[in-house]
Amino acid sequence: MSVTPGLERDDVIENAARELAQHSQIILTLLNGLLVVTGVLLLAWSSLDWQPSIASVLSLVGLNLPTLANEYRQGLILLPFGLALGLSIIGIVRARRYRLRTREIVKEIEAAASDRAMRDALTGLRNRAGFKLRLDSAVEALGEDERLGILYIDLDKFKDVNDTFGHEMGDKLLLAVSNRLDEISQKNVDIARLGGDEFAMLVYHRPDANAICELGKAVSAGLGQPFLIAGTELSIGGSVGIVICPDDGTDPTLLVRRADIAMYRVKAGGRGQALRFDVSMEDELRRRKFLEGELRHAIARNQLEVYYQPFLSSDGETVVGVEGLLRWHHPEEGMISPGVFIPLAEESGLIVEIGDWAMRRALSEAREWSDIHVAVNVSPVQFRRPDLLPHFLGIIAEVGIEPRRVEIEITEGVLMEDAEAAIEIIKGFRNAGVHVALDDFGTGYASLSYLRRFPFDKLKVDQAFVRNLGPSNGSAAIIHSVVSLGRSLGMTVHAEGVETLEHHIFLRAAGCHHFQGFYFAKPMPYAACAEFIAKKRGFSSSSLAYRR
């Protein structure tokens, strides 16, 4: 039996059984048909007045018994008649019985197949199709004074487990999750695995919304407890979106969409919680979709622009470089904050195209400012493209700017995703003469070990530390240790968010090399920045040497 690609072993067996059932029905029908025909022929034969020929037929087979034939003439007429009738009846009954049995078998096979089609192979829970079927009937059967809850559950950090420990561990974890959901859920709850690390619960016959929301919270709290699998403790978490029928809608499709929106909202807002849907979430999503659609055309419609924020050497007068910062002017919405549209661009993948555009624009504009460095921010999403290094070096060559004037700013997110690949790319940039800076240092997980492993040229101290500088908190101590760490590893230390003279004095004393912030200059359009640089050059004759 050859296995058709795309068909599971079970499907093949099932198809064979169905074929066999059909074939045996055909064969039985033929056999029974033959019996009926034989009976009818015998009947016709016996009704003719051919008695003498019976004796000749018998003589043909060696039974020359004419006397016997004559004596039992009457009997010989009745014999084939009875035989014919009997055979016909047996044939008809058997054919009918087999037809019924075949039909039953096919039905059984189909029922088993459809149940299997409704179940998830790994956990045995209902799958998306099975869940949808249950939801439809639950909504239809909902009583007047009761509530139906739908919980959408998405595991947090499941991908990390798969990436770190492999898919086998991931599968075991999914099984453990399904068991834990079973423990947490009370009576009258159906659990489903919708696919990947997405689960759902249908909570039946609850008197009020509160009981359902409480269960949602219990689920997210329960999934927040570590799992012990094959001797390894795994900490994940669960984000839960809740909708309640009929309060949040009575159409199953709408309910599911709203549960998904609520779950998505939890994901975006820190994960590991349970939130009930509310209409403002839908408005928010609609706005995001609108902006995403608009962003798609922003380059073609000439709505994007690169602003430049200078950074200076310790004297506060010499412009060492500029950081290119993307701006979006929307004709109706006005200036849209990068804090809003950059995450949108990253999620939709548009950042690849927009990032290329920004890089090309920033490098070609800044090229004219001789010797000034130009820093470009690169998103972790851009870092995923395998040809990133040759692609960016290609842009640098095409624009015709010296590589040593280009700084690539990356965040810790890049290092977290694929450290080995990131190291190779960073080395490749450095070999080409391009500088690589670690942006927003101190806000994430980047530690001493990261700095040792990754060959950065520059460390940019996150502006939050500078902004919080004061006698009573730890920011000063953190800045001191970051500066000495950076310096001891031979990196340039760059302070962001310098807003006052006091900041500048403190950071200079601490040993920072480069200074950026409103105290010196805000991000500004190309022309304004060109003017700023020219003005500063008039004041200062210091060298623009880049500290290594």
Least separation, in Å, of the C-beta of 465 and Mg ion? 15
Question: Minimal distance in Å, beta carbon 356 to Mg ion?
Answer: 17
Torsion of CA 5, 7, 10, 13, to 10 degrees: -70
Q: How far is the CB of 427 from Mg ion (least distance, A)?
A: 21
The residues with which 436 forms a beta bridge, in sequence order, are 408
CA angle 47, 53, 54 (to 5 degrees): 75
Q: Which is nearer to Mg ion, 156 or 439 (CB)?
A: 439
Comparing CB distances to Mg ion, the nearer of 197 and 409 is 409
Q: How far is the CB of 377 from Mg ion (least distance, A)?
A: 5
CA–CA distance, 194 with 179 (Å, rounded to integer): 15
Least distance to Mg ion, CB of residue 467, Å: 15
How far is Cα 330 from Cα 293, in angstroms, rounded to an integer? 12
Nearer to Mg ion, 197 or 496 (CB): 496
Give start and end residues of each alpha helix (H) in 149-270: 158-165, 167-184, 209-224, 252-268
Tell me the helix, strand and coil percentages in the chain, rounded to 5: 55, 20, 25
Encode burial over 360-377: b for 16+ CB neighbours within 10 A, e otherwise.
bbbbbbbbebeebbbbbb
Q: Which residue lies nearer to Mg ion by CB, 346 or 439?
A: 439
- Residue 84, C-beta contacts closer than 8 angstroms, at least 6 positions apart: 38, 39, 40, 41, 42, 43, 46
CB of 407 to Mg ion, least distance (A): 9
- Looking at beta carbons only, is 248 or 439 nearer to Mg ion? 439
Interface contacts to Mg ion, rule CB under 5 A: 377, 409, 439
Q: Report, in Å, the least distance between residue 439 CB and Mg ion.
A: 4
Nearest-angstrom CA–CA distance, 105 and 110: 9
The closest of 349, 412, 362, 129 to 252, measured between CA atoms, is 129
Q: Which is nearer to Mg ion, 197 or 407 (CB)?
A: 407
Residue type present at position 48? L
Judged by CB, which is closer to Mg ion: 274, or 479? Answer: 479
Peptide bond into 403 cis (omega under 30): no
